[in-house]
Structure 1
Amino acid sequence: MKTAVVVFPGSNCDRDLAVALELVTGRKPLMLWHDDTDLPEGLDLIGLPGGFSYGDYLRSGAIAARSSLMREVVTAAGRGTPVLGICNGFQVLTETGLLPGALMRNAGLDFVCRDVALEVVTTDSPFTRAYGAGEHVSIPVAHHDGNFQADPETLDRLEQQGQVAFRYAEEVNGSARNIAGILNDRRNVLGLMPHPERVVEPAHGNTAGRRLFEGLLGVLA
């Protein structure tokens, strides 16, 4: 399984994601600088890590979404290459238009950093296939702009088409319908605010996040 992690100025979870991918796949991912102009051939998964790309100075993910390499990521996603965006990576995915909606300031205007309970809403995707539908898992969050919002028609469509991947099982940030992660309509792009790469080995306290990567490995290897 050949994977890559896109690194932006300000990324601070790129190594965490790389370590998780290597742990599960047994192969170091490629670390791609945002200003590269070409994606390597044969990638099975592209990861967009958490952090504060470009310092979030304009709007979270807005500048990163216009980087040279993201144009290639959008094209690759259109061909069916799986793309995983975590936290700031989720924000980048919405800014590119690969996913609908927007990530706004948390309802309480506070940075939220703690373990949260998540409900697995759908298992019909390579990212969620290793979980059980309706299962509750604990995965940490660390964000200030994780409040997912979209117009009612978009929210209804996401629900009806089974594109809500994860839902907060508790109040976290004010997200519409407690949505924590969504899929595109082809189910090859997932954006989620919680950090599965931070719970992949027993030393982390639990391994709930590992199953996301193991599910991908089972499909893509």
Structure 2
Amino acid sequence: MKFAVVVFPGSNCDTDMFHAIREALGEEVAYVSHREHDLTGFDAVLLPGGFSYGDYLRSGSIASFSPVMEAVRNFAASGKPVLGVCNGFQILLETGLLPGAMKRNDRLKFICDTTPVIVENNETIFSSEYQLDERISLPIAHAEGNYECDGETFKQLKQNNQIVFTYADNPNGSKENIAGICNEAGNVLGMMPHPERAVDSLLGCEDGLRLFQSILVNWREHHAVTS
């Protein structure tokens, strides 16, 4: 399986994501420039955290107009997995690949910590290796992680089981403790916690590795070679 890690000006978690795939997961991975127009040959796309374009205007807003995002839209439309973490989640929201928006944390401060996260849906291609209602630990590092949406959007998220992760102890004021959501098709996931920073015991936790393993397991199931 081959992963693409999209690099925007200001990305600072791209190397973490690259390491998680190559060293922890043991799969092929390559960096892809924000100037790229084609994602042919890749099986999954990862949008990393950081401060794309310096977070000018709004976090992720300028990045959403990068040339590569048209290719990401087409990639997602084809049903292949797209994961956006932290700033990557913000970019997915700004692009319209996921519903809702991000506000500044309710205490108006940058948060860097490890927080307990609850698995609300383990039937997605990103969460199948977790147990339903499992409590895991993942790092967070953001100033604008306060997820917001209108009442109708939230109703749809609930009805379609699109809320994949919630905070056990809401650190940022996010609506209904939301930490990560997927699109209705289930192949696009945005989340504020950083699974790529929790893939090795040397980092203090391996709970994030199973997210990437879920993607791999699903891909192998659909690309099994039968004799």
TM range (shorter): over 0.9
Kindly state the Cα deviation for residue 65 of structure 1 after the two structures are TM-superposed: 0.6
SS at match of 2:199: coil
SS at match of 2:118: strand
- Distance, in Å, in 1 between the alignment partners of 2:156 and 2:24 is 33
Residue equivalent to 2:148: 149
CA offsets 1:30-52 (integer angstroms, 9 cap, x no match): 1001011222x231110000000
CA offsets 1:49-70 (integer angstroms, 9 cap, x no match): 0000000011100000100011
Kindly state the Cα deviation for residue 81 of structure 1 after the two structures are TM-superposed: 1.3
The TM-score normalised by the length of structure 2 is: 0.95
Q: How does 1:199-218 map to 2 (within 5 A)?
A: 199-218=198-217
1:3 corresponds to which letter in structure 2? F
Identity of aligned pairs, percent? 50
Kindly state the Cα deviation for residue 27 of structure 1 after the two structures are TM-superposed: 3.2
Q: Which runs of 5+ in 1 are unaligned?
A: none
CA offsets 1:112-164 (integer angstroms, 9 cap, x no match): 11000100000110100000010100101000000000001101110111000
2:104 corresponds to which letter in structure 1? R
SS at match of 2:88: helix
1:85 corresponds to which letter in structure 2? G
- Distance, in Å, in 2 between the alignment partners of 1:79 and 1:211 is 24
1:21 and 2:27 correspond:
no
Residue equivalent to 1:33: 33
SS at match of 1:29: strand
- Distance, in Å, in 2 between the alignment partners of 1:130 and 1:163 is 17
Q: How does 1:123-202 map to 2 (within 5 A)?
A: 123-202=122-201
Kindly state the Cα deviation for residue 25 of structure 1 after the two structures are TM-superposed: 3.8
SS at match of 2:61: coil
CA offsets 1:164-220 (integer angstroms, 9 cap, x no match): 000000021000000000000000000000000001011011100000011111111
Indicate if the aligned counterparts of 1:60 and 1:91 stay in contact, CA closer than 8 A. Answer: yes
SS at match of 1:162: coil
1:13 corresponds to which letter in structure 2? C
Kindly state the Cα deviation for residue 24 of structure 1 after the two structures are TM-superposed: 3.9
Indicate if the aligned counterparts of 1:24 and 1:213 stay in contact, CA closer than 8 A. Answer: no
Residue equivalent to 1:50: 49
SS at match of 1:108: coil
In angstroms, what is the RMSD of aligned CA positions? 0.9
The TM-score normalised by the length of structure 1 is: 0.98
Number of residues paired by the alignment? 220
SS at match of 2:16: helix
Indicate if the aligned counterparts of 1:17 and 1:197 stay in contact, CA closer than 8 A. Answer: yes
